[in-house]
Amino acid sequence: MSEEETDISGINKEAAVGGGAVQAGSTGAAGSGSEQAGGSGTSANGVQGQDRKEFRLELNGVSCGACEKIIERVAEKNDVSIVRIDANAGVITVKCEEGRLGALKKGLAEKGFGEKGTGTARGDPAKVLGYISAVLAGEKHVGVESKLLNYALASAVIIVLLTLAGQFLLFGGVANSMAYAPLFLLVIGTSVLAVFSYQHMLCFCRNLSCSNGMMAGMTLGMMAGFMAGALVGATNGMFMGSLVGMAVGIALGANVGRFCGVMGAMEGIMAGLMAGTMGAMLSVMMVSNNLLLFLYILFGICAFLLGGLSYMMYREAGSAEVSELRISLLRFAGMSSGLAFALIFIMLYGPKSGIIYP
């Protein structure tokens, strides 16, 4: 082989080797690119895949299906997946990034599901006081409750002024009309409380579980029916008191209970039926035995229970959206005054029977 041929052959070999190297390098680059893409895909997907781990939490207060729904809502809000919930043992298993675990625990504790051994069990009076303080301060997470409270106070003032005007313009001809004044104050309080609770429950109508809906319908129907029946029963007797109490209790109880189905509506109807007759009967039985004092004590208990209902809904269903509150001050005052003056008119001009007040 000549020297020239040898040189050409060497050049060809070098080119072949170089081409192979280039090809290998190209493949390496592609592989590196593929690896990089895979790495970045793992990073985009796999911060979830790699960083999301399972955690087991032992909680206080988990006892039923309604509790499970609350836990699921809190978890969803914090971008946490629920793996399983054991309500009997009070244990939940979740899957999330470790950094989200603190927010989840805090959210659960606010709903009364604190970790066992942390002293944050449900029923802590400090949480109730915190809720009341937040409502009075008008904090954002209780914006609906704060707004309704302002409406209720303003409406009470309006109705008092209208009642005073009516005393001189309309009720002056009624015998002993001034003796009804202590009862009129209770009528105003009952009307405002009933409208407050009714409107508050409407804000949760999309999120009511069956148990919460039944409790709401029963409580509102019973408290409103009891007070209306007792007030009218005191001035008009058992028959009118029972009719009015049942009408008010059934109307409010069934209208709230229906949002969780027929069972909730029936619960509200039965509560109104029982409370209306019971309220009237108690007033007739106590007409000559500290009736006024009894009615004020009764009103205080009913107000406490309706306040407890509002707190229960806040704890169980979460903060209501202000957009769900579809009532103005004018309409709130109109509903409250309409109920109040309907009761006052019946008390003054409705049929009376038996031993009655005053």
State whether 209 and 278 are in the same domain: yes
Residue 96: alpha-carbon gap to chain centroid: 27
User: In this predicted structure, what is the pLDDT of residue 173?
Assistant: 60
Give how far Cα 319 sits from Cα of 40, 130, 141, 334, Å. 39, 14, 6, 26
Cα→Cα distances 223→155, 211, 257, 292, 312, Å? 20, 18, 14, 18, 16
Q: Is there a single domain that holds both residue 249 and residue 151? A: yes
Instruction: Look at residues 122, 144, 159 and tell me which one is the last residue of a structural domain.
Output: 122
Residue 16, domain member (yes or no): no
Do 226 and 328 belong to one domain?
Answer: yes
Residue 258 lies in a domain: yes
Looking at residue 286, its amino acid is M
Residue 79 forms part of a structural domain: yes
Residue 36 lies in a domain: no
Q: What is the mean pLDDT of each run of 10 residues along the chain (358 residues)?
A: 44 43 39 39 40 85 76 87 85 88 83 69 75 92 93 96 81 70 94 96 80 89 96 94 97 91 91 96 91 94 94 80 86 96 92 81
Q: Indicate whether 173 and 244 sit together in one domain.
A: yes
Counting the structural domains of the chain, the total is 2
Two tokens, residue 131: 């809720």
Judgement on whether residues 106 and 149 belong to the same structural domain of the protein: no
On whether residue 263 sits in a domain, the answer given is yes
For residues 322-337, one letter each, b for 16 or more C-beta atoms within 10 angstroms of the residue's C-beta and e for the rest, the string is eeebebeeeebbebbb
Domain boundary among 122, 140, 172: 122
294 and 218 in one domain?
Answer: yes
Q: Are residues 192 and 110 in the same domain?
A: no
Residue 181 in any domain: the answer is yes
112 and 214 housed in the same domain? no
Task: Note whether 139 and 82 are same-domain residues.
Answer: no
In the prediction, which pLDDT does 120 show? 52
Looking at the fold, whether 218 and 88 belong to one and the same domain comes out as no
Q: What is the pLDDT of residue 337?
A: 96
- Phi/psi for 58 (5° steps) reads -100, 120
Q: CATH number for the domain including 61?
A: 3.30.70.100
SS (H, E, C) the chain: CCHHHHHHHHHHHHHHHHHHHHHHHHHHHHHHHHHHHHHHHHHHHHHHHHHEEEEEEEECCCCCHHHHHHHHHHHHHCCCEEEEEECCCCEEEEEEEHHHHHHHHHHHHHCCCCECCCCCCCCCHHHHHHHHHHHHHCCHHHHHHHHHHHHHHHHHHHHHHHHHHHHHHCCCCCCCHHHHHHHHHHHHHHHHHHHHHHHHHHCCCCCCCHHHHHHHHHHHHHHHHHHHHHHHHHHHCHHHHHHHHHHHHHHHHHHHHHHHCHHHHHHHHHHHHHHHHHHHHHHHHCCCCCHHHHHHHHHHHHHHHHHHHHHHHHHHHCCCCHHHCCCCHHHHHHHHHHHHHHHHHHHHHCCCCCCCCC
109 and 198 both lie in a single domain: no
Containing structural domain, residue 164: 128-349
Token pair recorded at residue 223: 């408290």
Of 70, 90, 122, which marks where a domain is finished? Answer: 122
CA dist., res. 305 & res. 299, Å (int)? 10
Identify the pLDDT of residue 100.
85
Establish if 39 belongs to a structural domain.
no
Neighbouring CB atoms inside 10 A of 341's CB total 18
- Domain co-membership, 237 together with 321: yes
Residue 142 lies in a domain: yes
How far apart, in whole angstroms, are the C-alpha atoms of residue 311 and residue 49?
Answer: 39
C-alpha angle with apex 306: 301 to 310, nearest 5 degrees?
145
